Structure 1
Amino acid sequence: MSSQLLNMANPVRRVITATDPKGKGYFASDETLTPYDPTTAPHFTVPGPDAGFGVVQIHRSRSLPADNQRPLPDPHRTLVPLADTKGPSCRILDLPPAESGWFHRTLSLDYAVILSGTVGFITDGGEEKVLKEHDVIVCRGVNHEWVNRGEGVARIFVVVVPSLGMVTEDGKRLEKTKAGDVYDPKEEDD
């Protein structure tokens, strides 16, 4: 396995807290999660040399505001939408060096922090900002793509909050990018 793939497979420790019936806090889980390639569903393999990115699904709320008492299934190694319409989610993206990314629009407000590497954030208007470690970008429904501008794997922490989707062009409401079943799985009714 090349060093690039090893970097894309760097695990993430995730600790989740909860509150017991008497109102006392405790640690509900403490796990090590390995990035996976969502296009390999339902097997979810480690990102290979042709993977566009690796992902670690950290947490997913099914409501807004979040219900911290509601038991939630673990989102890791599941097909979580690019932007969940029922509540916020957070994830880590690993991007291998690439010439181009994938333009997409989500109906969400996204907060992204570059944890490592150098990443280009490109708008469909043709503008690009190059972001480095510890830089933060707030994406407000913009059609965009991420492109790794460095030589190693870049890692990004992203919090995605559903929005009203009221981005317009010449008075017409713009919709999210259709991404297919892998990136936009059928929504559960709960």
Structure 2
Amino acid sequence: MNKIPRRIVTGFKNGKSTIIEDQQVENAVEHFPGLIISDVWNTQTMPASLEFETRIPNTGFPQTPENGTYFRYVVVPPDKDLEIEWKKNEPHPMMHQTSTLDYIIILSGELYLIMEEGETLLKPGDIVIQRGTNHAWSNRSDQPCIQLAVLIDAEIKD
């Protein structure tokens, strides 16, 4: 399992900022073979509270709290390792929609972002602004892709 460091610098000691946590995340979960997700941080309100953290269960598909946020670390393995079969002219089996505004950054590897119409290849440094639409991810390479994502509760209009 990936070792994902998490450093929290929101504490105070003698009136000065200090590091209050410097350790590996405790909730990295392998939901499917090689698909590793860690919900590194979340907030439960807007504006966000800086006083405490409410730990939440790690889920394959995010369940962002109302008026809250998720900060996710995701390792997407090659499609062949997930044993996903996707037939042309059919929806991708991992197609999903969340009621969130997502900021996604590709750190390593490559990944296709698949929409209901069209797709695009993402590489390290690419940024995706995902605005509550149906989408799926496809890793057609031989290497895992690592992405960071911030998911913000949003109002989806029909």
TM-score by length of structure 2 reads 0.81
Aligned to 2:77: 96
The amino acid that maps onto 1:33 is V
Q: In structure 2, what is the Cα distance between the partners aligned to 1:144 and 1:135?
A: 17
Aligned to 2:148: 157
Name the stretch that deviates more: 103-112 or 56-65: 56-65
Aligned to 2:135: 144
Give the 3-state SS of the residue equivalent to 2:18 in structure 1.
strand
Q: In structure 2, what is the Cα distance between the partners aligned to 1:136 and 1:108?
A: 16
Name the stretch that deviates more: 28-37 or 151-160: 28-37
Q: How does 1:80-91 map to 2 (within 5 A)?
A: 82-84=62-64, 85-91=66-72
Q: How many residues align?
A: 144
Paired residues of 2:109 and 2:145 also in contact (CA < 8 A)? yes
Q: How does 1:69-80 map to 2 (within 5 A)?
A: 69=51, 71-75=52-56, 78-79=57-58
Q: In structure 2, what is the Cα distance between the partners aligned to 1:22 and 1:142?
A: 47
| Structure 2 unaligned residues grouped into runs of 5+ | 87-92
Q: CA deviation at 1:79?
A: 3.0
Give the 3-state SS of the residue equivalent to 1:110 in structure 2.
strand
Q: CA deviation at 1:24?
A: 3.0
Give the 3-state SS of the residue equivalent to 1:20 in structure 2.
strand
Q: Is the strand fraction higher in 1 or 2? A: 2
Q: How does 1:35-46 map to 2 (within 5 A)?
A: 35-38=28-31
Moved over 6 A (4+): none
Q: How does 1:101-140 map to 2 (within 5 A)?
A: 102-125=94-117, 127-140=118-131
Q: 1:70-128 CA deviation, whole Å, 9 max, x = no partner?
A: x11344xx235614123111011111100556100000000100111110000122x10
Percent identity (aligned): 24
TM-score by length of structure 1 reads 0.68
